[in-house]
Structures are given as structure tokens and as C-alpha cells.
Amino acid sequence: MRVYTNLNVLKKVKRLFNEMGIGGVLDGDEANIDISVGKLLDRLLYEGKLVEFLQIITNDNQTDFEEMEADQVGGLIENFFTGIVKYLPSFLREMVNIQYRQKMSS
């Protein structure tokens, strides 16, 4: 499944992340990340924000993302952040690079 990183997708992801309280993830504004892990998980899983995110980055509203295996979902998320890594703030860019290096060495 293809993951998109065009401007339209980035605008939608930024809006969604702002709604979730993690808008600073994309622009490096750490002060704009004001959410607990528990609350973030609630929004992602129970409020459907993870499915919405997956629909946005894949331009696919037909797939039942809730039935996908965790490794498939993780792969889509990884592909999105890998695709935009050069545009991320340095602290996030380093996190993505570390994750990628760990994955390649295992």
C-alpha cells in the first residue's frame, strides 16, 4: 500500500496532530506537545485518530485498517515518517534514524 507525503497530506496530518495535542511533532514546537501517553492512546485507538491518520497518509478510505496486523500498520507509519524525515525537526529526525538503524541491524 502506498504512503503519500505531499503537501495536501502533510496539511491534513498537521491538522489531525493538532487535534490530538501533538501538533509540535511535525514542526519542532515541543511546547505544542501537551498530552499524556494514556490520553494519546485513547485518542489513537478509541477515538479513531489512528485510523484517520492511516486513511490520510494512504489516501484510502476503503481499507479496514482496524483489521490490519500491527506490523502492517507500523510499516505504514514508518514509511510516512521515513518519507518526511528530512523535513522533521532535528530531534525527531534523529529518533527516526535510530529506529531505522535498529531495525536494519536486527
Q: pLDDT tens track of the chain, all 106 residues?
A: 999 998 899 899 999 998 888 877 777 666 667 677 788 888 888 889 999 999 999 999 999 999 999 999 999 998 998 888 776 666 566 665 666 666 667 6
For every residue of 50-104, DSSP letters joined together read HHHHHHHHHT-SSS-GGGS-HHHHHHHHHHHHHHHGGGS-HHHHHHHHHHHHHHH
Whole-number pLDDT of residue 97:
63
Whole-number pLDDT of residue 71:
92
Three cell numbers written together for 105: 541491524
Whole-number pLDDT of residue 100:
60
Give Cβ neighbours of residue 27 (< 8 Å, ≥ 6 apart). 14, 89
What are the sequence ranges of the domains in the chain?
7-105
